[in-house]
């Protein structure tokens, strides 16, 4: 072996090792993002049982991560342009590490909300910066695989969170059968705290890993550090490819400078079209309801007819399907292409959501209204405490006019919609066959905002002063039969189908679409704006999920999600170009509108 050959071999080995490091750090970022999304699924049943929070407050706790993501996503692109991609990745990991003790040691709504908000802020930074960093650092031949690893470990984070929740479900189940109510309460209270503590190590590893990678070559180039940019390119690809991409970066930069001198505007086809396309894809991706279905998965399966233990196992299998199908999507994305997988995935999502919605509609259409009976149980202090056990269920059913109440009372569910003045609230579904379920407890303190600012965000048209003295009004009380375990199993299978199609298509491709479609000049800020839209939709759906499900049934939410997947399918089929195997500069040239350039991407 000659000295030159040996040097080339050593250089190639170094490039392979560095690409592996990039993917590992990206994977840890995906793992944190997955933990952000999935950790609440296993903790929520125990948080519901021990926190004393109302359904609206619990919805806000679930949605706080999404709200935090909105806040950080707004500034993520600007920070990534100002500080660099690498420092923002380190910052996101540190914020996650800080959030864990804040949540696990919390007592009350405020600290719990703030800790979850910090988790969301961390997730928002990660969601923008890590895919952006990968797109700018990895060669085109590995870009799909690298971003796929981000999504793959994101799903692994959700699986890990589900397995942790499953472990504590067994612990709680063992205690329920032998201990008194106080002991069960203590075990459940400790369970959700421990679930959050266990999620701390990935955050620490991500912080450490982010310190060992280099800065993005495209960021260095736009900062005028061109020699450093070329050096950065050489760390992850051979010299010929590095020099070719460096030349394309120079050409694109000259064109951008010429455009700025002549027009100074960003309202050109090459900027507007990919930006709008990325925004629509991000909107549709979240409007499928995937984050809400993951966050409320255990509760959905409980309401579908599964037992507590079976529902937790269903959540574990749900997240496992997500994890395994992401591997398949990762293998196909650089072979079949982004567009093909998006079309396949969105079509499968539409069918799966219609099936789940239809299954819930079949059971929910026979629900009974017992509003007046529940209203009669409101105390003189305008509070309601209702333990929904079989005897109480039978009385409510009898009061609602059902003659054979006994046959339903042993396996019934109840959700209550109520209001104090203009401020409405709702309970989660409670089951008469769950002896360990906490009673429905409605108080003015837990329902009426404490100050004008909180009141404005909850209902800007309501009168806070009137609500502080208004009586408790039961707006609606839906009582229905808990479906059979067989029904629950069919719902679970349909949800498995939903997450399988999501994982193989949108789950892998959405991050690529976001980072690949945006031109270099607007990539970081454009990604932030598109992700803000994504997170606003996700936050809105998470906040509305329980109230709408309690008032109108789960079927209404699933049919709504199915409607959005139709828009997703149309967008992927008729407007999404294929980007596999193309450099970022080649993709950017496609949106100039030249037929020759367009042909290169078709």
Classified as helix, coil or strand, 449 is coil
Please state the rounded mean pLDDT for residues 308-313: 78
Best CATH choice for the domain 8-214+262-361+488-600 from the list 1.20.1250.20, 3.90.1150.10, 1.20.120.80, 2.60.40.10 = 1.20.1250.20
Rounded-to-integer distance, Cα 228 and Cα 234, Å: 10
Rounded-to-integer distance, Cα 489 and Cα 481, Å: 16
At residue 348, the pLDDT reads 93
**Cβ(530)–Cβ(278) below 8 Å:** yes
At residue 598, the pLDDT reads 45
End-to-end CA distance of the chain: 43
Alpha carbons within 13 A on the beta-carbon side of 222: 19
At residue 350, the pLDDT reads 94
pLDDT band at 12 (very low <50, low <70, confident <90, very high): low
At residue 250, the pLDDT reads 76
Segment among 112-126, 322-336, 515-529, 536-550 with least mean pLDDT: 515-529
Rounded-to-integer distance, Cα 273 and Cα 269, Å: 6
The segment with the largest mean pLDDT, out of 69-73, 209-213, 362-366, 513-517, is: 209-213
**Cβ(218)–Cβ(556) below 8 Å:** no
* pLDDT tens for each residue of 95-135: 998 988 888 888 877 888 888 889 888 888 887 788 778 77
pTM score > 0.85 for this model? no
Please state the rounded mean pLDDT for residues 275-282: 82
At residue 351, the pLDDT reads 94
Of the chain, the percentage scoring pLDDT greater than 70 comes to: 82
Backbone angles phi, psi at 509, to 5 degrees: -80, -20
pLDDT at 410 over 80: no
591 Cβ contact partners less than 8 Å away, ≥ 6 residues apart: 269, 270, 271, 273, 274, 519
pLDDT at 435 over 50: yes
Backbone angles phi, psi at 479, to 5 degrees: -125, 130
Cβ neighbours of 254 (radius 10 Å): 10
* pLDDT tens for each residue of 355-407: 999 998 888 777 778 888 888 888 888 888 888 888 888 888 887 777 665 56
Higher per-residue pLDDT: 482 or 96: 96
Higher per-residue pLDDT: 538 or 418: 418
Which of 30, 555, 541 has its CA nearest to residue 291? 541
Higher per-residue pLDDT: 213 or 453: 213
At residue 595, the pLDDT reads 43
Rounded-to-integer distance, Cα 531 and Cα 513, Å: 12
Higher per-residue pLDDT: 254 or 352: 352
pLDDT band at 597 (very low <50, low <70, confident <90, very high): very low
Distance of CA 233 to the CA centre of its chain: 33
At residue 267, the pLDDT reads 57
pLDDT at 530 over 80: no
At residue 484, the pLDDT reads 80
At residue 596, the pLDDT reads 41
* pLDDT tens for each residue of 284-294: 888 898 878 88
At residue 335, the pLDDT reads 78
pLDDT at 261 over 60: no
Of the chain, the percentage scoring pLDDT greater than 90 comes to: 7
Q: Which residues are 441's β-sheet partners?
A: 385
- Owner of token pair 């709680």: 172
The segment with the largest mean pLDDT, out of 64-68, 191-195, 428-432, is: 191-195
Higher per-residue pLDDT: 183 or 493: 493
Rounded-to-integer distance, Cα 410 and Cα 319, Å: 31
Rounded-to-integer distance, Cα 286 and Cα 289, Å: 6
**In this structure, what token pair is assigned to residue 329?**
């999507």
**In this structure, what token pair is assigned to residue 274?**
């990919």
**In this structure, what token pair is assigned to residue 450?**
């404490």
Give the gyration radius of the chain's Cα atoms: 26
Query: Which DSSP symbol is given to 268?
Result: S
Which of 438, 440, 442, 437 has its CA nearest to residue 425? 442
User: How much is the mean pLDDT over the chain?
Assistant: 78
Query: Which DSSP symbol is given to 504?
Result: I
Rounded-to-integer distance, Cα 149 and Cα 295, Å: 22
Classified as helix, coil or strand, 225 is coil
Please state the rounded mean pLDDT for residues 31-35: 77
**Cβ(303)–Cβ(156) below 8 Å:** no
pLDDT at 6 over 60: no
């Amino acid at each position: 072996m000659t000295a030159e050959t040996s040097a080339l071999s050593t250089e190639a080995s170094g490039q392979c090792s560095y690409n592996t490091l990039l993917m590992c750090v990206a994977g840890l970022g995906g793992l944190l993002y997955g933990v952000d999304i999935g950790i609440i699924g296993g903790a929520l049943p125990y948080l519901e049982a021990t926190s004393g929070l109302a359904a609206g407050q619990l919805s806000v706790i679930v949605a706080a991560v999404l709200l935090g993501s909105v806040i950080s996503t707004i500034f993520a692109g600007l920070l990534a342009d100002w500080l660099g991609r690498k420092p923002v990745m380190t910052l996101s990991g540190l914020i996650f590490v800080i959030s864990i003790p804040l949540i696990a040691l919390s007592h009350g709504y405020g600290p719990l909300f703030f800790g979850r908000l910090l988790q969301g802020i961390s997730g928002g930074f990660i969601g923008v910066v890590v895919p952006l960093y990968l797109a700018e650092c990895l060669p085109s031949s590995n870009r799909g695989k690298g971003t796929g690893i981000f999504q793959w470990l994101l799903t692994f984070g959700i699986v890990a969170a589900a397995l942790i929740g499953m472990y504590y479900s067994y612990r709680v189940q063992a205690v329920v059968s032998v201990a008194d109510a106080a002991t069960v309460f203590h075990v459940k209270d400790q369970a959700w705290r421990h679930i959050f503590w266990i999620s701390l190590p990935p955050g620490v590893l991500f912080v450490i890993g982010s310190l060992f990678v280099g800065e993005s070559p495209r960021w260095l180039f736009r900062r005028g550090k061109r020699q450093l940019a070329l050096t950065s390119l050489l760390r992850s690809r051979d010299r010929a490819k590095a020099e070719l991409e460096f030349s394309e970066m120079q050409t694109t930069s000259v064109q951008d400078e010429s455009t700025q001198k002549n027009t100074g505007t960003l309202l050109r086809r090459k900027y507007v079209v990919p930006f709008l396309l990325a925004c629509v894809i991000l909107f549709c991706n979240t409007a499928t309801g995937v984050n809400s279905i993951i966050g409320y998965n255990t509760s959905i399966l409980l309401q579908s007819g599964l037992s507590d233990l079976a529902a937790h196992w269903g959540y574990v299998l749900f997240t496992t399907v997500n994890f395994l199908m992401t591997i398949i999507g990762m293998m196909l994305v650089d072979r079949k292409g982004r567009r093909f997988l998006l079309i396949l995935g969105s079509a499968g999502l539409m069918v799966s959501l219609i099936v789940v919605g239809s299954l819930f509609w079949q059971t929910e259409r026979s629900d009974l209204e017992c509003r007046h009976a529940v209203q009669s149980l409101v105390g003189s202090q305008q509070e309601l405490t209702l333990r929904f056990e079989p005897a109480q269920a039978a009385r409510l059913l009898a009061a609602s006019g059902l003659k054979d109440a006994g046959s339903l009372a042993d396996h019934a569910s109840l959700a209550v919609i109520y209001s104090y003045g203009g401020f409405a609230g709702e309970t989660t579904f409670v089951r008469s066959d769950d002896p360990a379920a906490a009673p429905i407890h409605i108080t003015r303190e837990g329902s009426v905002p404490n100050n004008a600012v909180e009141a404005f965000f909850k209902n800007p048209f309501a009168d806070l002063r009137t609500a502080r003295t208004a009586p408790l009004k039961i707006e609606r009380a839906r009582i229905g039969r808990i479906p059979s375990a067989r029904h629950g199993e069919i719902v679970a299978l349909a949800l498995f189908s939903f997450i399988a199609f999501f994982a193989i298509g949108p789950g892998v491709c959405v991050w690529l679409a976001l980072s690949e479609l945006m031109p270099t000049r607007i990539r970081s800020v454009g990604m932030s704006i598109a992700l803000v839209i994504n997170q606003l939709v996700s936050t809105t759906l998470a906040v509305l999920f329980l109230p709408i499900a309690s008032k109108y049934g789960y079927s209404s939410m699933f049919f709504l999600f199915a409607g959005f997947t139709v828009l997703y399918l149309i967008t992927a089929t008729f407007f999404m170009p294929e980007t596999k195997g193309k450099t970022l500069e080649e993709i950017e040239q496609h949106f100039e509108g030249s037929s020759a350039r367009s042909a290169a991407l078709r």
